[in-house]
Structures are given as C-alpha cells and as structure tokens.
Amino acid sequence: MPETRYKTPKKELETRMNGIKAVIFDWDGVFNDGFKDEAGGSPFSEVGSMGVNLLRFALWLKYGELPKAAVITGKQNHYAESFAQRERMHGVYMGFSHKPDAFSVFLAEHALKADEIVFVFDDVLDLSLAAICGVRIMIGSSPTAWLVDQVIARGEVDVVTGNSGGENGLREATDILIDLLGNGKAVLDNRVGFTSEYQQYLSERQALVPKVVRNA
C-alpha cells in the first residue's frame, strides 16, 4: 500500500480539526484521474462518494450540525454538478481558473473563515487556497512527484495521500480526516445500523438545495 505522508504532526491536525466547519474539494485529479470524456466531463467513484458522505456525517456527529461542503473546479463539468446535486452539497462552483474568486463567495455566503476549511486538492491551480485553509490534504501521484515536493517546501500541505485520484485517493483523504476527528467507530456503527442519528443527518443533508455556479 502506498505511504501516506504527514507533513504536519497528527496531534496538531487533531487540534485544528476542532475548528473545522466546512470541506471544499477540487474535482479533476481528486475525484478521478483527471482524464476527460468527449463532453469535457470527468466522472467520480462511488468509493470516493461514500468517503465524502462518511466525512460529512463524522463532522455532523462531532459538532451537531451539518458541515458546509462544496466543490470548486476550474472547468465546467457535468459530473461535478451531478455529484453535487445527488449528494446535496452546499455548492458547486465551476469554471473558476482563479479559485479564490469562488472561495471568497463561499466564505461570505456561509460566514466562514479560511482556517475553518478543510481543502482536498491535487494541482497548481489549487495552491492559492491551500496556502490559507485550515487543513490541507493533497492527492498524491507519481506524475506530480516534483510538484508535491514543491508544495511541501512551500508549506502548503499537511498530508499527502499515497494513492492518486484514479486510485481512490479521495477515499484515503476522507478516511484520514475521520481518523483525525477521532469518531470513526461511531460513524461506522451508526451508518451500518442506519440508526436514528444517521437518519437525522441524512434528512438534513437531503433538505439542502445545492447552489450551482457556472463561471463564464
């Protein structure tokens, strides 16, 4: 199994997770391997999708309210929009080559600060957000090994996954975050048992109407 690299000590990350109120994901290279279909879309894995849901539930269990969640991507992508609608994310922001433009809107809409955000990312266009978010998980890959080293040197990442986006690195990232929250057993017990707590979370999640933003 490829090695997960912690660039920030786990104890410090556990402390930082106490202030997390939202999770933002890049799309290409995070939910997938970055390859496009003829329509310009790139799909997602159900393995990664489950991980995102379990992470949101873990945050809900820990803090008693639904964490804010969004996708910010540089391209228009029908798969990203479909995922956000199906999983009832708070928003999907597409076509943002300069991601801080979407990020600032998301923060303002939900009265959040940058250090209250977990950011899961993989490439150069994400670094302006990685520099300021509270917890930063980079999806690693062999082709981006040089970039990963540069991002580490710049101090813009806390954890680098051993698996790439095409190898379900997103699920690795969400499992890491659940582990840092320290409530993984409760997450699994409630989900497997489809308990009243999980059903309450799911009801709140399903009541969301995702905001879809298509930047020209």
Q: Per residue in 98-125, pLDDT tens?
A: 999 999 999 999 999 999 999 999 999 9
Average pLDDT over residues 152-167: 95
Would you place residue 166 in the very low, low, confident or very high pLDDT band (cuts 50, 70, 90)? confident
pTM score:
0.95
Q: How far apart are CA 100 and CA 102, in angstroms?
A: 5
* Model confidence at 39: pLDDT above 70: no
Predicted confidence band at 197 (pLDDT cuts at 50, 70, 90)? very high
Mean pLDDT (whole number) for 51-73: 97
Cα dist from 150 to 4, 38, 127, 142, whole Å: 17, 32, 11, 14
Give the C-alpha distances (Å, rounded to integers) separating 70 from 35, 53, 89, 153, 180.
Answer: 21, 12, 6, 27, 20
- Residue 40, pLDDT > 70, answer no
Q: How far is CA 203 from CA 65, 68, 87, 100, 196, in A?
A: 12, 15, 12, 31, 10
pLDDT-based confidence at residue 41 (cuts at 50, 70, 90): low
Q: Indicate whether 216 pLDDT > 80.
A: no
Q: Domains in the chain and their CATH numbers?
A: 5-206 (3.40.50.1000)
Averaged over 116-145, what is the pLDDT? Answer: 96
Residue range 64-81, pLDDT digits in tens: 999 999 999 998 989 999
Query: What percentage of the chain carries pLDDT values higher than 90?
Result: 88
Note the pLDDT of residue 33.
82
